[in-house]
Structures are given as C-alpha cells and as structure tokens.
Amino acid sequence: MSATLLLTVNVQGLGPERAEAPGTPLFGRFAHGGYTGRIGLTRLLDALRDLGAPATFFWPSTEAEVMPALLERCLAEGHEIAAHGHDFEDHMALEPAREEALLEEAHATLARLTGSAPVGFRAPTGTLSANTLPILARLGYRYDSSFVDDDAPYPLAEDGGGTMMELPWSEGLADATHFRRRLTQDRAETMLNEELDALLPVAGYALLTLHPRADLGLARAARLPILRRLVERAAALGATPRRCRDVLPQP
C-alpha cells in the first residue's frame, strides 16, 4: 500500500484580524487576510488543479458565506469541504453553551451552502475544550484534525469523540510555521522537506497544511512552486495525495 499525503488548506481570510481587533474598521488596515479572497485561494486552487491533487479545505462559516463562488469552485473541482469553526474563535475560551451554538451554526451553514454536511473539523486556533469532541460526535463528524500529538491517525473514543478519528497535523509541514518566522523561501522549503522526508518512512502518513493569506501562506507567486516540489517529493517517496475523508475506515 502506498503512503498517504493529505493536502489541507485553512481558508482564513480576515478572521484572525477580527479576533484581535473586534468592532474596529478593518478595511485598509489589514490586507493580509484580504489576500485570501482576492487572489490567494484562487492561486492555490489553480495550483492543485494543475497538479491533479485533491485536497481538504477547512472553511470557517463566515468565510464560506462571503466567498460562495470560491466555495463552489472547491466543490466543483473535487475537493473536500470541512469545518473550521465560525470566525476564528478560541474554543478553550468559550462558555459551553456558546461553543455548542457556534459549532451547530458552522455545521448548518456549510451543509446549507454545499448540499451535504461536513464530516471533518479543525479548530480555528488549534485549541479545543473538553466539550468540543462530544459535540462534534453528536453532529455526525467522523474526524478531527486539530492536534499535533502523534505522527499518524488514531481513534478519539477515549477523548469523548465516539467513533471519530484524529488526523494529526504537523507544525513542520505547515507553511505558517515557517513564514510566520520570516524565513526565506529557500530555508522554509528546506525545513518542509526535512519534515516530509522524516514522517513518510516512519508513519506512511504526512499532512501538509497551507494558508491562502499573504503573510504566512504559500500562495504568494514566489512561494507557490514549493507546493509542486513538495508533492513531487512525496510521490518519489511513494505517497499519493488524498483528501482527509478518503483515509477514514469504512463506516
């Protein structure tokens, strides 16, 4: 059996900015998040189409509502739509009732806009409360992809997730990890390669996380060739690009 490379995209527009400056006018003050809808997400979709590589796009419900054409393009081109919260909220900071309401709202919004309920979730800030997984299990989710505590997928029954699976992501295989530190493109690619080369032989599994933002994402024109080379490198190691839902056990 071939190894697996999961390609994932966190569709973050202005959510991170709104979380830091609620209630203030954002237009003209923060352009990094605006890059997502203007060009970043389109550029990533173009690259994945050219590569013939399916991916999972984690959409906050607010971004899905303001970028319906890009959401529809994701669906039309065979990508998976998964949930990424409501609007970049920190689940550890939410009151239980508020968290449940936001998860239900995001779930219903994506189901309405796409025609089918999402089966995957990734926390907007990477943090969950003790209530998150039980709520997701009740809503019918089949996997979470918020944790970095293992190299390979594992069941979430002991954590209150019922029959859900965890598809862990790797900080070393996330574009934001490296570009947030203002590394050069060459240095960032070297570190991405090192993580990929180490993970695939050990676990037969690697998860690449991309962002279409201007600041910490791979969607800049000068950075995007890194994606093609990573997919080609993974193929040389025997890994096939897949969507998250495609690696789950049959129900």
As a whole number, the mean pLDDT across the chain is 93
For residues 16-23, give the mean pLDDT.
70
Q: Supply the DSSP symbol for 39.
A: I
Total tally of structural domains belonging to the chain = 1
Instruction: Tell me the pLDDT band of 25, cut-offs 50, 70 and 90.
Output: low
85-115 pLDDT per residue, tens: 998 899 999 999 999 999 999 999 999 999 9
For residues 198-206, give the mean pLDDT.
94
DSSP codes of every residue in 136-188: HHHTT--EE----S-SS-EE-GGGT-TT-EE----GGGBHHHHHTTT--HHHH
Instruction: Tell me the pLDDT band of 23, cut-offs 50, 70 and 90.
Output: low
**pTM of the full predicted structure?**
0.94
Q: What percent of the chain has pLDDT over 90?
A: 83
Residue 152 belongs to domain with CATH number: 3.20.20.370
145-159 pLDDT per residue, tens: 999 999 999 999 999
pLDDT at 1 over 60: no
What would the two tokens of residue 42 be? 């389109």
Query: Could you list the residue range(s) of the whole structural domain that residue 26 is in?
Result: 3-247
Tell me the C-alpha distance between 2 and 146, whole Å. 24
